[in-house]
Chains A and B, each alone.
Chain A
């Protein structure tokens, strides 16, 4: 019998086929979502499968008429998948306002396709301002109404409450999986953790939850070795499982992260279902671990990164910095200063569509040597 982890991996590697099969089986609609700020709970409650729009991380030569070459690799690669027709099963797209790069993909796709639904949703940038909650609550309600118009179905409280509870369970299971990574001998590689998260962005949440429960059982039977070094990965929309495997191939294990396709996707605790549900959802999306662009005025991202370094006993931090990703570039000096104070080695790998394997190998090896020496001393 195939393991749950292998099933999740399969669904990542064949995510387009999965969505097509789901659509055929259920007759439901598929919504492509940009950014982790789209309230997927509402889509789920409407019977819509939400799939995260992302690329294949392969070299491409089709996006230049739509996007300039200095747009981030995630966006160019996502757009390439769109142009190649890989997302032909997608019925509508939803963009939660984040960075202009992602917006460009949404904008070009909207303009050059026959999608029956497009929606851009404003998520406050200063998430801590006094009026953000009330505003976002209304925005979510408007979003729900537009989905009702699109699907011809109505959204009731009960359905939304059930979806929120399912997502709560789902996030709780992911927390448990991340908790296992705190062990001296972590039973999960960082590349596997990324695959687990990516699967959650591609498949039905009910099915996903069941698989997560099985994954936990499987992980508890593993007998892993002590890693050479415990790493934390930072970055944005990095979904390059191959790159994480490459880093871990030198004996280190990525034990935690602050990535869109990582902890930032699920962390932040459960959503209350005892109050107005739109308000509860808005509360979660305003208080979740933020990306640098939404971490304005009072930061929550950086303290959480530093806390994770303590909690997961991290030996070194690698920043998988998407080339041209400005929001992350802003925070670099601040993070580096703090890590220096904490005595944590720090490596920046500037990533694009292609990985300079030779150069990265030298840098990762040197970085791990540095950590080895630090451990010995």
Chain B
């Protein structure tokens, strides 16, 4: 049975997010850092070692620009994005491959993936990839073969068990020796320990911040948290990011305590499942025209440390101390890293959990959503697993669900006019009315 929809017409105080500038500063630092490390002879590698960033800290002076440093710059320019995608297709890859990876691979073929802004090219020491996504796994292989550099592929089972914990730990311990051999540099266990502790703190802080978004009014909407999480994705193991997240945590607490809302109104709180089109990220702001907000997203939460209950409830995960996990040496640090990997939300264990349709409903309830949108993304195959099951479960629970199709990094697969129109029709059907100020951009330094 459809849930009753009640519009909240209360007006709340709002103000810009003070940590926004810090987030942007960290992002700029991350970009520059790759070239600085390369210039002083540190270790630069390439890949998306999701969920084991703390482990990398033992490399000391290191940097990794994902599969290339210019993805964000590319995606903001649709014409440039199309050129890159076409470069991938010209080499013989198909149009229906993951558009994000194609966005990187095209840059590799065009010589951009390893080119510094100053024009020179660097050769990464190796490729590292956690095999929690088959697409990234094959991208790592392709990079390794194309650049002629070794490939460290860490096999990551999708379930947490004593066996998988041992399996992951053993691989990482072996990987340390492998990296020492490849780079000729000593791996620093003290830095590993600090990195793992930082990663654990970062993930837990992110979860603690997100849980506060259950408050009415919500301190942030999804468009804000989508950007605020960026340092967490790219360098969660660094102390600067822990400091940033502590600041953000304090600011969030202040906003909650003082009823400071994300946008001044939240006529309706909406979930947004799946990835948004990165080249049209403003789609996350569309509900504002109705005084509504998108508030929650599986991937966005997934970067936090959660203890997900069997009924789908997200609880903030425990600290290392609460878990009774000591970190005194290399082995304990690596084991803690794997425990964090398996305990993290959906980003770590990726797409196989059979309970996603249960969690999506509980999330919608706990974050007090009344309806929402599912982005059917032809780009990422992994995150699309169970997307229709999740839609069905939400509908069975009485939520109204709107959908639109796109490919997250391929502008050719998206019709702005059609999608905006479709979403407007959906919002109309929810009983939302456009505000008199609709169409006036809320300038709060988002990017």
Contacts and interface: CB of A to CB of B under 8 A. Distances in A.
Interface stretch (B37-45, B48-56, B156-164, B254-262): B156-164
A68 B384 contact: yes
Contact of B388 (A68, A138, A324, A336): A68
Contact of B96 (A104, A110, A329): A329
Given A104-B386, A125-B153, A293-B138, A330 B381 contact: no
B138 A292 contact: yes
Contacts of B209: none
Contacts of B158: 97, 122
A18 interface: no
A100 B167 CA distance: 22
A89 to B, nearest CB: 23
A66 B389 contact: yes
Interface stretch (B72-80, B221-229, B233-241, B349-357): B349-357
B314 to A, nearest CB: 21
Interface string A304-327: 000000000000000001011011
Nearest to A323: B96
A125 B351 contact: no
Nearest to B385: A100
Interface in B342-380: 351-352, 354, 357, 376, 378
A358 interface: no
A110 B386 contact: no
B389 A107 contact: yes
Nearest to B139: A330
B138 A296 contact: yes
Interface in B72-120: 91-94, 96-98
A70 B96 contact: yes
B11 interface: no
B170 interface: yes
Nearest to B163: A138
Contacts of B338: none
Contacts of A101: 381
A139 B163 contact: yes
A126 B91 contact: no
Nearest to B403: A68
A122 B160 CA distance: 11
Contact of B171 (A64, A66, A131, A333): A131
Interface string A279-300: 0000000000000110011010
Given A107-B354, A332-B94, A326 B163 contact: no
A249 interface: no
Contacts of A124: 155
A239 to B, nearest CB: 20
Contacts of A111: 354, 357, 389
B352 A97 contact: yes
Contacts of B174: 130-131
A170 to B, nearest CB: 29
A65 interface: yes
A70 B378 CA distance: 7
Interface stretch (B129-137, B317-325, B422-430): B129-137
Given A125-B134, A130-B174, A139-B163, A336 B92 contact: yes
Contacts of B340: none
Interface in B382-411: 382, 384-389, 392
Nearest to A329: B94
B281 interface: no
Contacts of B135: 326, 330
Given A125-B131, A321-B94, A132 B155 contact: yes
B142 interface: yes
A119 B384 CA distance: 21
A333 B92 contact: yes
Contacts of A126: 131, 137, 153-155
B141 interface: yes
B275 interface: no
Contacts of B131: 125-126, 296
Contacts of A297: 141, 144, 151, 153
Interface string B201-229: 00000000000000000000000000000
A107 B98 contact: no
A296 B351 contact: no
B392 A65 contact: yes
Nearest to B157: A122
A67 B384 CA distance: 9
Contacts of B352: 97, 100, 103, 120
Contact of B155 (A100, A108, A129, A336): A129
A68 B138 contact: no
A334 interface: yes
A186 B377 CA distance: 46
A97 B354 CA distance: 13
A129 B171 CA distance: 8
Given A103-B385, A135-B167, A329 B159 contact: no
B145 interface: yes
A18 to B, nearest CB: 30
A331 B163 CA distance: 32
A226 to B, nearest CB: 32
Given A100-B382, A329-B93, A65 B154 contact: no
A-B pairs with the 9 shortest C-beta distances?
A: A333-B92, A329-B94, A125-B131, A330-B138, A126-B153, A122-B157, A126-B155, A135-B167, A100-B385
Interface of B: 91-94, 96-98, 131, 134-135, 137-142, 144-145, 151, 153-155, 157-159, 163-164, 167, 170-171, 174, 351-352, 354, 357, 376, 378, 381-382, 384-389, 392
Interface of A: 64-68, 70, 97, 99-101, 103-104, 107-108, 110-111, 120, 122, 124-126, 129-132, 135, 138-139, 142, 292-293, 296-297, 299, 321, 323-324, 326-327, 329-334, 336, 350
8 contacts: A66-B389, A66-B392, A122-B157, A125-B153, A129-B155, A292-B138, A326-B381, A330-B141
